[in-house]
Amino acid sequence: MTVRPFLHPAIEDITVESLLHALSDPVRVAIYANIVAQDCAQNCSTFLHVLNRPIPKSTLSQHFRILRESGLIHSERHGVEVRNTSRCAEVDARFPGLMASIVKAHMIELEQAAAKKIPARHSAKSTTKRSPRSA
């Protein structure tokens, strides 16, 4: 059984449209932001849970394929695992500031979403209603 090599576009073949398409999915942008934030390669299995939900392996494979074929990540096989690194520096050389802006916007969005979530003990739903007799 031969394993097909991964396809990675040349940096001059990467387009803004392909980058934006790849990052139009919340799971993919979360995966990419995580890879960018790390100093080392990330295994695909690291992302079996993204945005607090499980991601099936087949779906995860498709997300990584889209990220790879858009030029955002570089994937390399090491035995049975695949290690992924960001091509952020290369993409930044082609489109200065684009990826940093997108990742920053994603982080702001996550922070705002987290701030909107009120812990259960403080929400209106968790307060017990008193009957008129006990008031």
Determine, yes or no, domain membership for 124. Answer: no
Determine, yes or no, domain membership for 118. Answer: no
The CATH number assigned to the domain holding 94 equals 1.10.10.10
Q: Convert the pLDDT of each residue in 11-36 to its tens digit.
A: 999 999 999 999 999 999 999 999 99
Cβ contacts of 62-66, under 8 Å, gap ≥ 24: 63/25, 63/27, 63/28, 63/31, 64/31, 66/21, 66/22, 66/25, 66/28
Kindly give the residue spans of alpha helices, DSSP state H, lying in the chain. 16-22, 26-37, 57-70, 88-94, 98-116
Q: Convert the pLDDT of each residue in 72-119 to its tens digit.
A: 999 999 888 899 999 999 999 999 999 999 999 999 998 998 888 755
The total domain count for the chain is 1
Structural domain containing residue 77 = 11-105
Determine, yes or no, domain membership for 53. Answer: yes
Task: Give the chain's end-to-end CA distance (angstroms, integer).
Answer: 75
Determine, yes or no, domain membership for 1. Answer: no
This prediction has a pTM of 0.80
Determine, yes or no, domain membership for 111. Answer: no
